[in-house]
Structure 1
Amino acid sequence: MSSPILPSAASRGGVHQSRDQVEIHQLAFLQSEAVHPLIAEAFLGKGVPPPQVTMEAVQHRPGAGATGIYRVSSQEEMYVGVTTEHVTDRAEGVLRSQSERGQLVLWQHPMDPLLPGLQLATDPGSVTATWGAGSQLTALQTVSYRPLRRAVISADFSDGRRIYLKVLREGHAPELAARHRMLVEADVPAPVPVGDPICDVLALEQGRGISLAEHFMADGAAAVRPADFVQLLDALPVGVMGLPARDAWTDRLPAYASAAISALPQCERRIRRLEEEVLEGVGVTDRGPMVPTHGDYYEANLLMQGPSISALLDVDSLGPGYRVDDLACFLGHLAVLPAVDARYIHAPAAFDRFARVFAAGVDPESLRIRTAAVGLSLVAGARDVRGGGWQEQADHRLRCAEVLLGLTPSAGDLPHWPAVL
C-alpha cells in the first residue's frame, strides 16, 4: 500500500578520518547511473531489457557507509536497497555484488536484512491479522524508513483506530516497549504500547494532538510556554538513569561534520572551521550534571493540544545525559526551520523567546555552542535525491550554525543568539 520512504535525517555514528574520501566516493557511486546495471542484473538477470531505475533516497552514515533506495520499473515495479555497509553473512534474503567501490549488499523491499519485522509490518493481511482486533485495515503507510536501522508504519482500521508500528533491529523492541511503559507509569504523556512486541515490531497507540511544528509555523507558538518543555524534562522518571547512555550531538560532531562535507564539499573550509570552534567551546563550558534525558528533543517529537503538551514521541534515545544537550537539540532544530520551509517566518522570534527561557537553567554559553553543533548536524539531512534545490537548504542550515557561533552576520531569516542572557 505504500512505497519505502527514507526521511531526511542527520547521519549518525562514528567516523574515522581516513574513511571520509572513500565514503564520499561510495556515496557518489550510489547516486550515479553506474550502479543501475548491477541492480538490474542482481534482480532481473542478464539478457533482459534494461529497466528504468530511479533513486528514491540516500543515507550516509560516516564510518559505516552509504545506502540507497531505488525504484525499479520493468514488467512490474519493485523497490531495492543497496548498501556499502557491512551486513553479516548470516543475513537472509540479500544478494552481494562486487563494484568499483567495493562489495555491495542488495535486497528487495521489504526484506531488509537487519529489520526482519519489516515484512510483517508492511503486509496488509499480516497487519490485519496481528493488530486488527476484528476490524478491517483501511490504510497502511510508510512514515519513515532508515534502511538497516528502523522504520515506522502507520496503520488505520475501520473502527477509527490508528496505530504506529515501529520496526527495530533484532532484540530492540522489548527495550523500547519498556521505555514507553516507564514513562506512562510516571504520568509522562507518551504513546501507550499495544501489547508486547511481535517479531521485533512494537505497536503504539496514536498520540493525541498536533505537532509543535504547526504552532511554530502558524505564529511562532505564541501561546505556548517555553517553561513547559523544561518542566516536561523535569518529569522524566529517575528510572531513566538506569538505561544505557548515548552520545549527544556534540559527542558525534566529527561524524556530522564529515556528513556535511559529503553534502556540501565546496563548503569544507567553513564546516571545518565551525567544527573546530564547537570542539574548542565545549571543552571550556559547563555541561552540568547528568540527568534523565530524552535524547532527541525537538518539535517533531512533541504533540500539543492547544497550548499544552499532549505527547512525547520517539523515546528510543531515552537515557542518562545532560539537560543542556536536550535543550540544544530543541533550539538547533528550531533555528533551521526556515531552511526546511519558507513558511516558518516566525521561527527567529520563537527562537529568541525559547532560548532566553532555556538558558536560565543551564550554562548559556554551553547551550549556545551545543545549539550550533546541532545545526551543523542537520546540514546533511537536507539532501534530497528526488528534487533540486536541497543544496541551498543545506547551505542555509550551515549558515544558521555559523550565525549562532558569530562566524557570519545575522540575517532576517536566520535566528541569532539573544544578546543579553
Structure 2
Amino acid sequence: MWPEAQHVAFLTDAAARLVALVRPGIEPAVRSSGRHLRQVQLQHRPGAGVSVLYELSVELGGGFVGVTTETLPAPAGGPDAAAGPGHYVQVRVPASSYPGVDPAAGELAVSVWDHPHDPRLPGLAVATVPELVVSRWARGERLVGLQTVTYRPLRRAVLRADLTTPGPIAVPRRIYLKVVRPDVADELLLRHRMLAAAGLPVPRLLEDARAGTAHAPEDPAGILALTEVTGRPLSQQIMHDGGTSLDPDAFVALLDALPEPVLDLKRRPAWSERLDRYAHAARTALPGAAERLRQLEARIQAVIDTTDRGRTVPTHGDFYEANLLIGEGRVSGLLDVDSLGPGHRVDDYACFLGHLAVLPGVDERYVHVEEALAHFGSAFRIDLERHGVTGRGLWARAAAVAVSLIAGARVPGAPRESWEPSAYRRLAAAEQLLALARRSGLVA
C-alpha cells in the first residue's frame, strides 16, 4: 500500500498525464505552460485516499477534472475504459514506476472524471444544467443565476439557484440544491423533516415540480432542493465582537431542542474519535512538525481516555459557526444536518470551540477569538458539569477538532510558504486548547 504522502506527490507530478485521460490532447500544452492547469482543491481523507480538483484554462476548453486515489468501482467495461458521458477512467500505477515508493507497495488505483460527472454524485450532472433546474424547481420563473457554493469531490455539493418571476414586477427567490450520494439522500431527507417537525430553524424541503414531492423515490440523483434561511453566518458576528453580544445559552437551548427520535438515527464518529487519522493528515501537511504533532496527539488522547463524555443524547454532529445563522440577535438558521444523530453533547461543544480557536489562522481579522472562547466556553462548561462532564474533557476534545483542521490550511497549487504559516497557527491553537484542558481542574 502506498503511503498517503506519496498519493499527494504522485497526483501533483502526474497531473497533466492524468487529466489527459479524459481530455485527450491537452498534455503537451500543459507541459509547455503550467498556467493551463491549476489545482484548486485537495482533499485528504486519512485512511481513504486523496482527491484533487484541477481547473483547465480557457485555451484548453475550460472546466474542471477530478482525480482521486479513493477506492471506487471500476468503470463499465473494466479498468482503463471510459464509462459513458462522464468520461470516467481508472488506471493502476505500479509502485515500481514512481520514485520513492517501495516496489512492494503494489499498485495505486487512480480514478479520473470530467466534472460535473462525479462518479459518486450523479446528481451533480443534473444540478449544474440550467434547463434541468428550471424544469424541476422553477414555478414559472426564470433562472438568473446558478452558482456552485461548495463542492467536496465524491462527497457532496451545494449550488445556489436564483430565480425571478418574468414580470412586470420581478419577485426574486433563492433556493439551494444539495447534491449527495444517492445512498444517503433518503437519510438526509429524514433528518430535515425530523428537525422541521420539531420546530428547529432548518431549511425547508422544496417539491420537485415533476413529482409533486420533495423527493422522487424513483430518482437516483440524490438532490435535495432547499429554501433559503434568513440570517448571517455566526462567523461574521464573531469577527465583529467575538459573539459576546449573543447569549450563549441560546446555543445550548438549540441543542436541547433536538428531538428524541434523533437517537434512532445512525451514529457517526465524533471528531475526537478520529484523532489519529487527522493527526496523520496534519503530519503529511507539516512534515517539519511531525514530532510536535505526535506529542500533541498523545497528550490529547491521554485526556480523552481519562474523561467521561456523558450520556448519549441527540447531537448535530457538525456544530460550528459556519452552520449557524444569526438574525435579530438570535439563532435563525441551523444548516448542514448530514451528521445529525446520537452522540455526546461534549462533542458538539468541542466542534464549536475547536473551529472557533483556529479562525485567526483562517483570517487575521478574527481578533476577538480569545473573548469568544471564554464567552462560549464558560456557558458550555457549566452545562456539561450539570451532567458530570468536566471542562478538562471539553477542551481536550476541542483540541482534537483543531488538529482535524490543520491539513485543511493547505492551498492546492500554492507554494508552501503561502499557506504553511496558517497551518502552524492552527497547530498552535490546538496546543492552546490543550493548555486550557490542563488548567481545567486536574493536570493532564
Greater displacement, 261-270 / 101-110: 101-110
Work out the CA distance in 2 between the residues paired with 1:380 and 1:68: 14
How do 1:245-264 and structure 2 match up within 5 A?
A: 245-264=267-286
Q: How far has the Cα of 1:72 moved from its partner?
A: 2.3
Residue 193 of structure 1 corresponds to 205
Matched to 2:311, the amino acid is P
Work out the CA distance in 1 between the residues paired with 2:3 and 2:142: 49
Matched to 1:169, the amino acid is R
Residue 22 of structure 1 corresponds to 3
Work out the CA distance in 1 between the residues paired with 2:395 and 2:30: 53
Work out the CA distance in 2 between the residues paired with 1:419 and 1:48: 59
Unaligned 5+ segments in structure 2 are: 77-82, 99-107, 165-170, 208-213, 385-389
Matched to 1:259, the amino acid is A
Select the structure of larger CA radius of gyration: 2
Work out the CA distance in 2 between the residues paired with 1:90 and 1:41: 13
Deviation by residue 1:142-188 (Cα, 9 ceiling, x = unmatched)? 11111111111111111311111110112321211111111111111
Q: How far has the Cα of 1:274 moved from its partner?
A: 1.0
Are 1:161 and 2:167 matched, yes or no?
A: no
Secondary structure at the counterpart of residue 43 of structure 2: strand
Query: How large is the RMSD of aligned CA atoms in angstroms?
Result: 1.9
Residue 382 of structure 1 corresponds to 409
How do 1:65-144 and structure 2 match up within 5 A?
A: 65-73=49-57, 74-89=59-74, 92=83, 93=86, 94-99=88-93, 100=97, 102-144=108-150
Residue 410 of structure 1 corresponds to none
Are 1:367 and 2:394 matched, yes or no?
A: yes
Q: How far has the Cα of 1:44 moved from its partner?
A: 1.2
Work out the CA distance in 1 between the residues paired with 2:11 and 2:419: 18
TM-score (norm 1): 0.89
Are 1:171 and 2:183 matched, yes or no?
A: yes
Closer, same or farther in 2 for the Cα pair 1:204/1:47, shift >3 Å?
closer
* Residues matched between the structures, number: 392
Residue 368 of structure 2 corresponds to 346
Q: Percent identity?
A: 45
Residue 214 of structure 1 corresponds to 236
Deviation by residue 1:53-90 (Cα, 9 ceiling, x = unmatched)? 22111111111111111122344213101111111125
Whether the 8 Å contact between 1:352 and 1:418 is mirrored in structure 2 is no
Work out the CA distance in 1 between the residues paired with 2:140 and 2:129: 17
Whether the 8 Å contact between 1:191 and 1:206 is mirrored in structure 2 is yes
Work out the CA distance in 2 between the residues paired with 1:169 and 1:311: 24
Secondary structure at the counterpart of residue 176 of structure 1: helix
Closer, same or farther in 2 for the Cα pair 1:187/1:30, shift >3 Å?
same
Are 1:269 and 2:291 matched, yes or no?
A: yes
Closer, same or farther in 2 for the Cα pair 1:118/1:46, shift >3 Å?
closer
Deviation by residue 1:226-272 (Cα, 9 ceiling, x = unmatched)? 11111100000001001001100111111101111111111111111
Q: How far has the Cα of 1:307 moved from its partner?
A: 1.4
Work out the CA distance in 1 between the residues paired with 2:411 and 2:190: 35
Q: Choose which of 307, 311, 324 in structure 2 pairs with 1:302.
A: 324
How do 1:3-82 and structure 2 match up within 5 A?
A: 22-32=3-13, 34-45=14-25, 49-50=29-30, 52-73=36-57, 74-82=59-67
Q: Choose which of 429, 433, 440 in structure 2 pairs with 1:404.
A: 433
Q: How far has the Cα of 1:24 moved from its partner?
A: 0.5
Work out the CA distance in 2 between the residues paired with 1:255 and 1:401: 15
Deviation by residue 1:118-140 (Cα, 9 ceiling, x = unmatched)? 00111111111111111111111
Q: How far has the Cα of 1:37 moved from its partner?
A: 2.5
Closer, same or farther in 2 for the Cα pair 1:121/1:244, shift >3 Å?
same
Closer, same or farther in 2 for the Cα pair 1:324/1:46, shift >3 Å?
closer
Secondary structure at the counterpart of residue 365 of structure 1: helix
Closer, same or farther in 2 for the Cα pair 1:390/1:134, shift >3 Å?
same
Whether the 8 Å contact between 1:356 and 1:418 is mirrored in structure 2 is no
Secondary structure at the counterpart of residue 384 of structure 1: coil
Whether the 8 Å contact between 1:260 and 1:376 is mirrored in structure 2 is yes
Whether the 8 Å contact between 1:355 and 1:418 is mirrored in structure 2 is no
Work out the CA distance in 1 between the residues paired with 2:183 and 2:139: 25
Residue 8 of structure 1 corresponds to none
Deviation by residue 1:190-241 (Cα, 9 ceiling, x = unmatched)? 1111122352100110111000001000111121011111110000000100
Closer, same or farther in 2 for the Cα pair 1:277/1:50, shift >3 Å?
closer
Work out the CA distance in 1 between the residues paired with 2:132 and 2:351: 37
Secondary structure at the counterpart of residue 104 of structure 1: strand
Work out the CA distance in 1 between the residues paired with 2:222 and 2:91: 28
Work out the CA distance in 2 between the residues paired with 1:206 and 1:251: 33
Work out the CA distance in 2 between the residues paired with 1:47 and 1:302: 44
Whether the 8 Å contact between 2:117 and 2:124 is mirrored in structure 1 is yes
Q: How far has the Cα of 1:306 moved from its partner?
A: 2.2
Work out the CA distance in 2 between the residues paired with 1:208 and 1:266: 44
Whether the 8 Å contact between 1:352 and 1:417 is mirrored in structure 2 is no
Q: Which has the higher helix share?
A: 2
Work out the CA distance in 2 between the residues paired with 1:355 and 1:269: 29
